[in-house]
Chain A
């Protein structure tokens, strides 16, 4: 067993590190670095877009893609290194959907024409996507969704509603799952469409999070017309087109790395802040909790490397990816809540006050992190996947 990287991998990691260390310095003051929360404030969104443009120019958004689509055919390990370094520096700049979720679906199921139309723009960060999947009545049970798409000549007419659509208010394109055959079993009656957000028939309404931030939205389709040539794959094949996206790098390393960074900030705070004349970190109850988080995150890091490594060997990793996803998202909720607690009253003061601790990062994160344990498959769903697919326990 060997945990070392090759010289090429080390040198690539250094290259990523140099770039992202510089970009980190340009982060808007007071922005906590929650790289999933870039859609609310204009200055943060602008920061995200500027980094994205640079990444697009460097070809770093398409590292693992086949060369014929503009990629470099890098392995899962190199992608992991990119994700880890970017996460550690808490730099946005990678569209949540395009490079790693839409692109694999296009590459596997899209016609050549579709691939030529969208892939280069994704690689160059020229598209801001949002995901039109989840509905008010179809969350965990996504396949039960009921937005309809009815054929009308060369087009389909889409009616329905999506919810929790991250960044829809910033997006210029949306990829939609809609029902094209209500009589077929639910997984076999869906179609994958791509539409421009500016098309008539799309309305976006903000769905504010409990901290008032505007990341999520409701999206309403009112006779939205989408041409047939914007279908990826075949009609009624949409579910399978969508789940292809699960072959991207799924180790969650970027989130582990960002959490590690957050922990470092918290440790520093606890060392430098005194309470009753002594540093908070001198309290073993505090230092032990900090140690426990360090242990969790290190175990998670090793797990992430393992997941990426077995993916690089061609193995499908549903249970492994589920384990990574639910453990890190739950850790962050606990870390943020512990951070707020250990900061005392200052921990709940919002960013902007001279009394807020660490720019109110953790006041925000203890709320924002709730998105992580629910979106992308709730913790409970992830455990179901492990139970059913890794342990062979009966589905009910």
Chain B
């Protein structure tokens, strides 16, 4: 047993944190929220040059062949800095290709994802099918010689900036079921695609994407026809865990900054951090975040080892979805009025927590999953 970070992970954390410190002041997040592109292309290229996009892509496809836990560390640091970019959506797509793509598809796409030359995004959730793939209604009709895709997806991150979209669509006969689903890779500028911005609480770039008889050729199918459910579930597990890594980073920001503030802010002649109630809020934060972190790492380890992780992924997502909302709520309270202002950074994390809680798996959906595993 070794519950410490590897040397690679320790170094990576330092590097990412330094990068953020040098290039990405917290105010940048607010600027990017108001920016149409929603990310900094210059920093995106630099991040790619540092190897982050390709970190977990196999070396033979231009990546670094690193571990999932390394990506966890990268996402923690990005979450801590509130680094807005298509990073998570792109690497999830790289996993889909690595796991389900043909040699041609992998050789065509992975190297350019690794270089940061292209952005991809997963189009999976639909109004009415937030998390459960059995509810997906977007349909791909045709045969393996060619399909047309029709339906509506939403919460497709950075769809307007993506060169390609990975779409989960129904190809089987049932109108609702977990099987009968397929994964397609389509160009985002294909005919029949409309990308409509969604203004959400996080003001990250989410999109509604409408497909109206969008053609998808033979080579667009990723993995087996109507056998996409296994791949999509596996992607969902990784998505949940990695989203939690991002939340964990944000939680560390809250912990650190609230503790510092509590030591500095003086009222009634003493630091507010000398009052028991503030001390206990912070102690609760410390205990809860520390414990959630260990469960996250355990789930990431299981995923890395290819061990079944459906239960742990759901547990982690529930824990962080509820926890991060609670921790950011406490954070606002400790900062007091200033924490509610747009100018202060606390709001960045509070708002993101509410959206992250519902991304890839809500607390209620996750609890249902966990309940199904109870003995």
Q: Which residues of A contact B (CB under 8 A)?
A: 1-6, 9, 77, 264, 267, 281, 284, 287-288, 290-292, 294-295, 298-300, 302-303, 305-306, 309-310, 319-320, 322-323, 326-327, 380, 382-384, 386-388, 390-394, 396
| Contact across chains for A291 and B1 when beta carbons are under 8 A apart | no
Contacts of B279 in A (CB 8 A): 383-384, 387-388, 391, 393
Contact across chains for B367 and A287 when beta carbons are under 8 A apart: yes
Q: Are A383 and B280 in contact (CB under 8 A)?
A: yes
Give which listed residue, B2, B315, B373, contacts A2 with CB less than 8 A: B2
Does residue B145 face the partner (Cβ distance < 8 Å to A)? no
Question: Which residue of the partner chain B has the closest CB to A325?
Answer: B287
A-contact bits for B254-278, CB 8 A (1 contact / 0 none): 0000010011000000110110101
Q: Considering the complex of A and B, which 3 residue pairs feature the smallest CB-CB distances, nearest first?
A: A387-B279, A323-B287, A383-B283
Given A327-B287, A391-B259, also A287-B3 (CB < 8 A): no
In the complex, chain B residues whose CB is within 8 Å of the CB of A2 = 1-3, 301
**A1-B69 contact in complex given A299-B292, A302-B298, C-beta closer than 8 Å:** yes
Set of chain B residues within 8 Å of A322, measured between Cβ atoms: 287
CB-defined contacts of A267 to chain B, threshold 8 Å: 374-375
Bound Cα distance A303, B294 (Å): 6
Closest chain A CB from B181 CB (angstroms)? 26
Q: Which of A267, A288, A310 has the most CB of B within 10 A?
A: A288
Bound complex: CA A391 to CA B254 (Å) = 13
Decide if A292 touches B367 in the complex (CB within 8 Å): yes
B290 and A393 contacting across the interface, CB-CB below 8 Å = no
Asked whether, in the complex, the Cβ of B286 is within 8 Å of the Cβ of A391, the reply is yes
Establish whether residues A1 and B287, one from each chain, have CB atoms under 8 Å apart when the complex forms. Answer: no
Asked whether A77 and B283 contact (CB < 8 A) given A1-B6, A294-B374, A300-B291, the answer is no
Q: Are B3 and A1 in contact (CB under 8 A)?
A: yes
- Which A residues are CB-close (under 8 A) to B6? 1
When distances are taken between beta carbons in the complex, the residues of chain B under 8 Å from A319 are 286
Known: A2-B2, A393-B259. A264 touches B375 (CB 8 A): yes
In the complex the two chains form, what is the Cα distance from A322 to B283 in whole Å?
A: 10
A9's closest neighbor in chain B, by CB?
B1
Minimum Cβ distance to chain A for residue B168 (Å): 26
B185 close to chain A: CB less than 8 A: no
Query: B370 on the interface (CB 8 Å rule)?
Result: yes
A320 to B4, CA, bound (A): 15
- The verdict on B295 contacting chain A, using a C-beta distance below 8 Å, is yes
7 chain-A/chain-B pairs, Cβ below 8 angstroms: A1-B6, A290-B371, A291-B367, A292-B367, A295-B318, A305-B3, A386-B287
Q: Tell me how far the C-beta of A304 lies from the nearest C-beta in chain B, rounded to whole angstroms.
A: 9
A302 partner residues in chain B, CB cutoff 8 A: 291, 294-295, 297-298
List chain B residues, Cβ under 8 A from A393. Answer: 259, 262-263, 273-274, 278-279, 282
Query: In residues 1-42 of chain B, which contact A (Cβ within 8 Å)?
Result: 1-6, 9
Determine whether the beta carbon of B263 is less than 8 Å from that of A392: yes
Q: Report the separation of the CA atoms of residues A90 and B274 in the bound assembly, to the nearest whole angstrom.
A: 41
Flag if A1 contacts B301 (CB, 8 Å): yes
Given contacts A284-B368, A294-B370, A295-B370, contact A309 B295 (CB under 8 A): no
Least Cβ distance of A119 to chain B in Å?
Answer: 29
| Range class of the B interface residue count | 35 or more
The answer to whether the Cβ of B196 comes within 8 Å of any Cβ in the partner chain is no
In the assembled complex, the Cα of A291 lies from the Cα of B311 at a distance in Å of 10
Pick from A287, A298, A303, A387: contact of B280, CB below 8 A.
Answer: A387
- Whether, in the assembled complex, B319 has its beta carbon less than 8 Å from a beta carbon of chain A, the answer is yes
What is the chain A residue whose CB lies nearest that of B301?
A3
Bound CA–CA A320/B290 (angstroms): 9
Given contacts A302-B295, A387-B280, A392-B263, contact A3 B3 (CB under 8 A): yes
Give the CA-CA distance A302 to B282 in the complex, in Å.
21
In this assembly, does B108 line the interface, its C-beta being within 8 Å of a C-beta of chain A? no
Contact with A along B278-313 (1 / 0, CB 8 A): 111011101100111011011001100000000010
- Tell me if B230 counts as interface (CB < 8 A to partner A): no
With a CB–CB cut-off of 8 A, which chain B residues contact A392? 259, 263
CA of A292 to CA of B273 in the docked complex: distance in angstroms? 31
CB nearest neighbor in B for A382: B283
Q: Which residues of A contact B4 (CB under 8 A)?
A: 1
Q: Does B364 contact A (CB under 8 A)?
A: yes
For residue B333, give the distance in angstroms from its CB to the closest CB of chain A: 16
Residues A394 and B3 in contact, CB atoms below 8 Å apart = no
Contact A299 B286 (CB under 8 A): no
- B282: chain A residues within 8 A (beta carbon): 386-387, 391, 393
Pick from B1, B262, B295 the residue with the most CB of A within 10 Å: B1
- Contact yes or no, A396 B274, CB < 8 A: yes
- Name, among B291, B297, B366, the residue most crowded by chain A CB atoms within 10 Å (CB to CB): B291
Nearest-neighbor residue (CB-CB) of A384 within chain B: B279
> Across the interface, do A394 and B370 meet the contact criterion of CB distance under 8 Å?
no
Nearest chain B residue, comparing its CB with the CB of A327:
B287
Cα separation A396 to B375 with both chains bound (whole Å): 47
**In the complex, which of the residues B286, B374, B375 contacts A323, with contact meaning CB atoms closer than 8 Å?**
B286
**A299 in contact with B301 (CB, 8 Å):** no
Q: Which of B301, B312, B370 has the most CB of A within 10 A?
A: B370
Q: How close is B71's CB to chain A, nearest CB, in angstroms?
A: 13
B203 → chain A closest CB, angstroms: 30
